[in-house]
Amino acid sequence: MRPVTWAVWGACLCVAAALAVATALRPLGSAPTLQQRVMSIAADIRCPECQGESAAESNAAASLAIRGEIARDLEAGEGRAQILRQIAGQYGDWILYRPPARGAFLLLWATPLLALAAVGGVLGRMVVRWRAGVPGSRRAGSGGVAEAALVAGAAEEPSPDLNRRLARYL
């Protein structure tokens, strides 16, 4: 099999294993309570007053107000995505720990993926060149053109000066 095929199969295996672990770790039991659902949504929202705390962790007045708003919206039948969009509309996208992938945030999300793809492409190309024995790669022997020049020059008689220099080293 080609190395690219092995890499694709390996990536598929890793994704399947991650999904299996995530499924196995999912809590079993009854549906979450209203308080648990509120805290789950609030964990994805930054506290507007505190630095580095989510609205679920903070007891600041703004976080308490956000949690109350989330509870009212859940009781009214709104979904998670709708509630997060509503809060982001009030405060701006900065309040979300996982902002939507659009505008500048799209570039933020795409940059690591593009860098990973570029590194993978360069490494893949290097492996293919190395395996093919392309001149300039390490596996290509003594070095393509230089090796051909040595072979061509081997048919000629060495100069007396070269013979003297070689005799000194031997």
Res 135: pLDDT:
58
66 and 90 in contact (C-beta within 8 Å)?
A: no
pLDDT band, very low/low/confident/very high, at 2 (cuts 50, 70, 90) = low
Q: Which residues pair with 46 in a beta bridge?
A: 54
pLDDT at 91 over 70: yes
Q: How far is 71 from 65, CA to CA, in rounded Å?
A: 10
CB within 8 Å of 116: residues ≥ 6 apart? none
Which residue, 9, 88, 16, 101, is CA-closest to 46?
88
Q: Which of 44-58, 62-76, 103-117, 150-164 shows the lowest mean pLDDT across its residues?
A: 150-164
* CA-angle at 158, arms to 153 and 164, nearest 5°: 140
Hey, what domains does the chain have and what are their CATH numbers?
A: 31-103 (1.10.8.640)
Res 149: pLDDT:
54
pLDDT in tens, 97-152: 877 666 666 777 778 888 999 999 999 999 888 888 765 555 545 455 555 555 55
pLDDT in tens, 5-55: 777 777 777 787 777 777 766 666 567 888 999 999 999 999 989 888 999
Q: What's the count of helices (H) and strands (E) in the chain, helices before strands?
A: 7, 0
Which residue, 80, 91, 81, 92, is CA-closest to 38?
80
3-state secondary structure (DSSP) of residue 170: coil
Cα-flanking dihedrals φ and ψ of residue 54, to 5°? Answer: -85, 170
